[in-house]
């Protein structure tokens, strides 16, 4: 691949894969004249110290012997021919002191390694945290029946951690408890950076009891017979802010108001608290009786004339009474009433009523 070219005016020496020697003699180290020697001998001579640039006979144009050269021309020159891209270029200044296959080592590369393409990651932002569902009557009261969190701003591959004790201890899982919760959330990215913490507080409410229900007034002759002339209910055990609902069709439909009907009523009552939890239902049955007819009243015996209202017996016949009704009498125009009546000699005016 390389050829070594020695030039003397009119003569040339080429060493390489196709080495040759033309037009001349050369002197070996012991000054013995050698003519037409093989290239192997020439190479050996050079290896032994023979310098073609100084020990060949001077050219005709040279000024003196020994290849000393001079301003008048002559002497010897050395050219190294290198094949570069299949084109031969001459390079002056070939060093002729022996042949060596040793290749000069390149200077150490002192250029620093480029950091192009390497990402520098020294920090990570705190995540955002909010309730997944604020299920209460208000969407911003932080009362929920879920406890699940929505966490944002998480880097790919980051680890999420939770603390419920102000950051003293951290866990990769979080289980909210019934009642008040305060939880801090942080992330550690793939580079090992741990963010600051974001804290959220909320109330977890997953339970609500069924309310108690009773007649506000059991107005019948017995306080436990479920017969009333009111229909108003007393609802107990409701949570603050809860919504009370009523159903009169076995829970198929619900309403926030109740209007009982005359006669039999069966009402289911439930509550939905501020966290959105709906209780089971409590059922009450009662009879609403808001009307009673006035009884009929006649003399038991109109002894003289059946229509003259003159009798020797003051007993009365009372009719139209409801079962279990109480009969009352008044002899002063309804100002006072009594469960008994005793007629007096002479004129009598008596009012009669019933309470069912």
Residue 186 in this model has a pLDDT that exceeds 90: yes
Say which range, 26-30, 232-236, 302-306, 341-345, has the weakest mean pLDDT: 26-30
Contact 232, 248 (CB under 8 A): no
> How is residue 45 written in tokens?
């001579």
**Neighbouring residues of 173: CB distance < 8 A, sequence distance ≥ 6:** 162
In the three-class reduction of DSSP (H, G, I as helix; E, B as strand; rest coil), residue 318 is classed as strand
pLDDT of residue 1: 44
Match domain 128-204 to its CATH number in 2.40.10, 3.40.50, 3.30.70, 2.60.40. 2.60.40
Q: What is the pLDDT of residues 10-40, one digit of tens each?
A: 555 555 545 555 544 544 444 344 444 555 6
What would the two tokens of residue 312 be? 């020797």
**Closest to 351 (Cα-Cα) out of 259, 36, 337:** 337
Which two structure tokens, joined as six digits, stand for 210? 């069924």
The C-alpha atoms of residue 73 and residue 93 are separated, in whole angstroms, by: 18
Domains in the chain: boundaries: 2-92, 128-204, 212-288, 292-356
Greater pLDDT, 307 or 118: 307
Supply angle C-alpha 13, 16, 18, rounded to 5: 85
Does this chain's domain 128-204 share its CATH topology with 212-288? yes
pLDDT of residue 42: 65
CB 266, CB 285: distance < 8 Å: yes
67 within 8 A of 7, measured Cβ to Cβ: no
Distance of alpha carbon 160 from alpha carbon 152, whole angstroms? 11
Question: Which candidate, 260, 254, 185, places its Cα nearest to that of 217?
Answer: 260
Q: What is the mean pLDDT of residues 161-187?
A: 97
Between 257 and 72, the more confident residue is 257
Task: Give the H or E element holding residue 263.
Answer: strand 263-272
Q: What is the pLDDT of residue 350?
A: 94
Instruction: Choose between 136 and 232: higher pLDDT.
Output: 232
DSSP class of residue 65? G
DSSP classification of residue 46: H
For domain 212-288, the CATH class is: mainly beta
Highest mean pLDDT among 63-67, 133-137, 215-219, 238-242: 238-242
- The CA distance from 261 to 246, in Å, is 14
pLDDT for residue 168: 97
CA distance 239 to 205: 11
Give me Rg for the CA atoms of the chain.
Answer: 63
Say how many residues make up the chain: 356
Question: What local confidence, expressed as pLDDT, does residue 117 receive?
Answer: 54
Q: Is the pLDDT of residue 294 over 90?
A: yes
Q: In the predicted model, what is the mean pLDDT of residues 324-347?
A: 92
Of 232, 235, 214, 210, residue with least CA distance to 223: 214
Predicted confidence at residue 132, as pLDDT, reads 94
Residue 119 has what pLDDT? 57
């Amino acid at each position: 691949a390389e050829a070594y070219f020695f030039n003397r005016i009119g003569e040339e020496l080429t060493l390489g894969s196709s080495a040759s020697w033309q037009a001349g003699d050369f002197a070996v180290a012991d000054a013995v004249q050698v003519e037409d020697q093989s290239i192997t001998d020439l190479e050996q001579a050079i290896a032994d110290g023979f310098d073609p640039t100084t020990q060949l006979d001077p050219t005709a144009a040279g000024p003196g012997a020994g290849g000393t050269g001079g301003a008048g021309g002559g002497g010897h020159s050395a050219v190294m021919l290198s094949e570069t891209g299949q084109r031969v270029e001459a390079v002056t200044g070939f060093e002729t002191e022996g042949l060596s296959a040793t290749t000069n080592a390149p200077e150490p590369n002192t250029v620093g390694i480029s950091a192009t393409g390497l990402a520098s990651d020294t920090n990570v932002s705190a995540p955002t945290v909010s309730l997944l569902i604020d299920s209460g009557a208000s969407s911003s009261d932080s009362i929920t029946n879920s406890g699940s969190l929505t966490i944002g701003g998480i880097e790919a591959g980051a680890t999420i951690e939770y603390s419920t004790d102000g950051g003293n201890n951290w866990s990769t899982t979080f289980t909210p408890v019934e009642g008040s919760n305060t939880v801090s959330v942080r992330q550690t990215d793939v580079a090992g950076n741990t963010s600051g913490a974001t804290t959220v507080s909320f109330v977890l409410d997953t339970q609500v009891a069924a309310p108690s229900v009773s007649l506000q007034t059991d107005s019948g002759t017995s306080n436990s017979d479920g017969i009333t002339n009111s229909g108003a209910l007393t609802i107990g055990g409701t949570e603050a802010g809860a919504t009370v609902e009523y159903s009169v069709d076995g829970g198929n439909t619900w309403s926030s108001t109740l209007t009982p009907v005359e006669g039999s009523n069966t009402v289911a009552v439930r509550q939905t608290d501020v966290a959105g939890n709906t209780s089971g239902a409590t059922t009450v049955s009662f009879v609403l009786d808001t009307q009673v007819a006035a009884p009929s009243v006649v003399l038991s015996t109109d002894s003289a004339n059946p229509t003259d209202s003159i009798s020797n017996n003051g007993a009365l016949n009372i009719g139209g009474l409801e079962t279990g009704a109480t009969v009352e009498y008044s002899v002063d125009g309804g100002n006072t009433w009594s469960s008994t009546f005793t007629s007096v000699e002479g004129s009598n005016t008596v009012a009669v009523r019933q309470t069912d």
